[in-house]
Amino acid sequence: MKNVVALTGAGISAESGLPTYRGIGGLWDKHQHELVASPVGWRRDRRTVLNFWNAQRRRVAATAPNAAHHALKELERLYEVIIVTQNVDDLHERAGSSNVIHLHGELMKSRSSLDPNMVYNTGDKDIEIGDKCERGSQLRPHVVWFGEPVLRFKEAQLAAREADIFIIVGTSLEVQPAASLVDEVKGGARRFVVDPGADPRLPGEIAEPATVGLPRLVAELERELES
């Protein structure tokens, strides 16, 4: 089987109704990230941080995967698919995708404040003050905050290097180091960009929303193998 790597960002989940973090009208326009998404904010006021992320968790739990998420799952019928996502929601998993690398963590999980390797499946439950790991440390969201290193980046680099097909969807490639994964893709790999702002005159660029362009691309890739 050929290897497909899809690099996904906030745009794919925005089409399910989840707000983005960056950009006009994003969450960082309404909240100071230093207060709710940084180690400094955590040390200053844990309750405020937990309240913010509990609200995001409830929002994700009330949201469903869309056609773009399901299209990537469908692609697993004929390709080896790895999703590298900048998103912290679990919509790819709920759509059925079996290999998802979360660079910025997973909102539906919690982890120890003392040991980042102690990770727990929280689901849609709130994390409260007093919820602790086995070592007695307060639980926090399993999300990468400002000033913290991304997760599983070496895995993502290896996947990008081995990709026969590399799909970019829902991301502006403005956030590092995720954006640098494009440079890891080998020269012979096919590249596709699914974005309403893409230039359809360029090879591989699909100027459509993820829920429209990605299912169409997946159908084309499947026809190629089935013909």
Any idea which residues carry the catalytic annotation? 104
Q: Give the model confidence (pLDDT) of 76-132 as tens digits.
A: 999 999 999 999 999 999 999 999 999 999 999 999 999 999 999 999 999 999 999
Q: What is the pLDDT of residue 25?
A: 64
d(CA 182, CA 186): 9
- Residue 16 DSSP label: T
On whether both 196 and 93 belong to a single domain, the answer is yes
Claim to verify: residue 25 and residue 50 sit in the same structural domain: yes
Are 118 and 41 within 8 A, CB to CB? no
46 and 139 assigned to the same domain: yes
pLDDT band at 226 (very low <50, low <70, confident <90, very high): confident
100 with 186: CB under 8 angstroms?
no
| 191 within 8 A of 204, measured Cβ to Cβ | yes
Residue 11 and residue 41 in one domain:
no
Q: What is the pLDDT of residues 133-177, one digit of tens each?
A: 999 999 999 999 999 999 999 999 999 999 999 999 998 888 889
Name the β-bridge partners of 101.
Answer: 84
Q: Which domain range does residue 36 map to?
A: 19-62+108-143
What is the number of structural domains in the chain?
Answer: 2
pLDDT (0 to 100) of residue 28:
65
Identify the CATH number of the domain in which residue 46 sits.
Answer: 3.30.1600.10
One domain, residues 117 and 198: no
pTM as predicted:
0.93
User: Which residue bears the tokens 């609200």?
Assistant: 55
